[in-house]
Structure 1
Amino acid sequence: MGKFVITKRTNGEFQFNLTANNGQTILSSEGYTTKPNCEKGIESVKRNSQDDSKFDCKIASNGKPYFNLKATNGQIIGTSQLYESEASRDNGIASVKTNAPEAIIDDRTN
């Protein structure tokens, strides 16, 4: 089972990373000014990760594929790492879909 790891940035903002069973980060959030907003972002990922239309496949300026996960309002709630191939990116999307719904929360801000 994956987990959402909540951390605090040096600027005081909260963020989460969704990690797979092997500990690899598969999705990273934006910065949130409060922990409750960060937790709402996690709930949004859990909901939206089951809707294929919420995944936006992109190509970075260096040619590497990645994806964004968007909320119903179109706001980006998570961004993947850069992948070596589109097939690897697609595997990353599948991993988010598998791990996000039942992922536990590991709060490392205390």
Structure 2
Amino acid sequence: MGKFVISTRSNGDFQFNLKAGNGEIILTSQGYSSKASCNNGIESVKKNSPDDNRYERKTSTNDKHYFVLKAGNGEIIGNSQMYESTSGRDNGIESVKKNAPDATVEEQVS
């Protein structure tokens, strides 16, 4: 089962990582100035992740593959890791779809 892990960046912003059941990070958020905003971002991922149309499949300048998850308003709510292949990226999307809706939320203690 997946989980969202909230942590604090060095600049004080909050962020979350969605981890698959095996502990691999499959989605990373932007920085949020408040924990409440970070939690809203998590809720947006849970809501939008099942919809394939919310994923934008991309290729970086060094030919790595990745995806972004967007909310209904077009805002990016999460970025994937880099993948060597399109099939790896597509498996990452399927993992977000499977893990995000019912994922638990925990805070990382620094």
TM-score range, shorter chain: over 0.9
Where does structure 1 lack aligned partners over 5 or more consecutive residues? none
Where do residues 14-93 of structure 1 align in structure 2 (5 Å cutoff)? 14-93=14-93
Q: What one-letter code is carried by the residue in structure 1 that aligns with 2:34? A: T
Q: What one-letter code is carried by the residue in structure 2 that aligns with 1:106? A: E
Q: Tell me which stretches of 4 or more aligned residues in structure 1 moved more than 6 Å.
A: none
Give the superposed CA RMSD.
Answer: 0.9
Where does structure 2 lack aligned partners over 5 or more consecutive residues? none
How far the C-alpha of 1:109 sits from its partner, in A, is 4.9
Separation in structure 1 between the aligned mates of residue 6 and residue 109 of structure 2, nearest angstrom: 7
Separation in structure 2 between the aligned mates of residue 50 and residue 44 of structure 1, nearest angstrom: 11
* Cα-to-partner distance string for 1:29-74 (whole Å, 9 max, x where unaligned): 0000000000000000000001110000000111111000000010
Q: Normalising by the residue count of structure 2, what TM-score does the alignment of the two structures yield?
A: 0.98
Aligned residues: 110
Q: Normalising by the residue count of structure 1, what TM-score does the alignment of the two structures yield?
A: 0.98
Give the percent of matched residue pairs that are identical in Structure 1 and Structure 2.
58
